[in-house]
Structure 1
């Protein structure tokens, strides 16, 4: 394996190429592996899986307007994925939490996404899979910084 340091130009090109590839994979896995929920609905359910939140907290986390978040969560409540309850500290606020159906939906969607990725990996060579296996740790490191 060549261990010659990359030039600045090569590093810029590599970072751009990897960013674009990661974005394409992310977009495709979100949109092609699931038809049950929109990506924004899935994101809200995943946030609520961690802890109950208010619409304002969700809007801040997801970086959307409060009215937009209320529309999203209202649909999730109607569909039975999210439950509303009064905030014991502030009766003007509503606490949103994941229902059992919401948890099952998250599980189904995650399984579909994993299966979608698996079908792509099944067509790769052993060498390509080895590269991805090594890259997994490096990409996780980059994502956590």
Structure 2
């Protein structure tokens, strides 16, 4: 009995490079489209800042560093989130000059609503695919999760 070849031959380096570029663009387009799905509630950069505070309070400097924006830009974002009632400022426990930012219960409700809207947008698109395409996406999701973790 002869040895069975692998079901898929390895791609040549040029084909891998082409696939990587196409995949990157597709992921960027989907990410951008989903990100703008809920701009009627808050702007994408505000959502991102709120997500950073979801697990633990933080300082404006920490947020700016994580979000890779300037301190003045983050200050404007924080000021708007405070105006909207989504973020509260408090003095630091050891250094009263330090500002600690926390989410309000309303902010947590808004995050949940935005995620629901984004998931609904994606669910509609996936539901229009045929079962074979849905199965491919199911496998691709596991692979992409692995790629993102590396």
Q: Which residue of 2 aligns with 1:24?
A: 29
CA distance in 2, matches of 1:54, 1:33: 26
Q: Which residue of 1 aligns with 2:124?
A: 119
CA distance in 1, matches of 2:8, 2:109: 47
1:101 counterpart = 2:110 = no
Q: CA deviation at 1:89?
A: 1.5
1:42 counterpart = 2:47 = yes
Equivalent residue for 2:69, pick from 50, 64, 73: 64
Q: Deviations over 1:56-86 (max 9, x none)?
A: 1100100111111011011101101111101
CA distance in 2, matches of 1:126, 1:41: 36
Q: Which residue of 1 aligns with 2:133?
A: 128
Q: Deviations over 1:79-98 (max 9, x none)?
A: 01111101122111110001
Q: CA deviation at 1:2?
A: 4.3
Structure 1 unaligned blocks of 5 or more: none
Structure 2 unaligned blocks of 5 or more: 1-5
CA distance in 2, matches of 1:65, 1:8: 38
Number of aligned positions between the proteins: 145
Q: Is the 8 A contact 2:37 2:117 kept in 1?
A: no
Q: Deviations over 1:36-73 (max 9, x none)?
A: 11111000110000110010110010011111101101
- The runs of at least 4 aligned residues of structure 1 exceeding 2 Å deviation read none
Please, what TM-score do these two structures have when normalized by structure 1?
0.97
Q: CA deviation at 1:128?
A: 0.4
Please, what TM-score do these two structures have when normalized by structure 2?
0.93
- The CA RMSD measured in Å over matched residues stands at 1.1
Bigger radius of gyration: 2
